[in-house]
Amino acid sequence: MAEVTVMLGRGLVPPGEPIICSDDLGVLRGDGVFETINVRGGKPFLLEQHLRRMANSAAALEIPIPRSEAMRGLAESAVEEWNTRSEAEAALRLIVTRGREGSKHPTVFATVNPVGEAWKRPRRTGVKVVSATLGVSAATRAEAPWLLGGVKSISYAATMSVLRWAKEQGADDALWTSSDGYALEGPTSSLVWLEGDELCTTSTETGILPGTTSRHLLDSAGSIGLRPKEKIIEVERLAKADAAWLTSSVRGVVFITELDGKPVAQRPDIHAELVKLSGFSLD
Asked if 248 is part of the footprint of ligand PLP (rule: CB under 6 A), the reply reads: yes
- Contact segment (CB under 6 A) with ligand PLP among 57-65, 90-98, 165-173, 242-250 equals 242-250
Count of residues engaged in binding ligand PLP, rule: CB under 6 A: 13
Count of Cβ atoms closer than 10 Å to residue 137 Cβ: 15
Nearest to 224 by CA among 258, 272, 192, 176: 272
Q: Within 13 A of 15's CA, how many CA atoms are on the CB side?
A: 8
Minimum separation from the CB atom of position 41 to ligand PLP (A): 18
Residue 153, interface with ligand PLP (CB under 6 A)? no
C-alpha span between 157 and 9 (Å, rounded):
29
Q: Which residues between 182 and 201 bind ligand PLP (CB under 6 A)?
A: 185, 188-190
- Amino acid letter for position 163: L
Work out which of 211, 256, 271, 274 binds ligand PLP, going by CB under 6 A.
211
Choose one: 9-17, 121-129, 160-168, 206-214; the region binding ligand PLP (CB under 6 A).
206-214
| CA dist., res. 216 & res. 238, Å (int) | 21
Provide the 3-class DSSP secondary structure of residue 156: coil
Q: Which is nearer to ligand PLP, 53 or 100 (CB)?
A: 53
The minimum distance between CB 37 and ligand PLP, in angstroms, equals: 8
CA distance 65 to 106: 7
Q: Please, which of residues 131-150 interact with ligand PLP by CB under 6 A?
A: none
Residue closer to ligand PLP (CB basis): 57 or 214: 214
Size (the chain), residues: 283
CB count in 10 Å sphere of residue 231: 12
Cβ-based neighbour number of residue 273 at 10 Å = 20
CA distance 251 to 180: 28
If binding is defined by CB under 6 A, does position 209 make contact with ligand PLP? yes
107 binds ligand PLP, rule: CB under 6 A: no
Amino acid at the residue 178: S
Minimum distance, C-beta of residue 56 to ligand PLP, in the bound complex (Å) = 12
Quick check: 249 binds ligand PLP (CB under 6 A)?
yes
Binders of ligand PLP in range 31-70 (CB under 6 A) = 36
Question: Closest distance between ligand PLP and the C-beta of residue 9, in Å?
Answer: 26
In 3D space, the residue among 25, 8, 26 whose CA is nearest the CA of residue 66 turns out to be 8
Binding site for ligand PLP (CB under 6 A): 36, 185, 188-190, 209, 211-214, 247-249
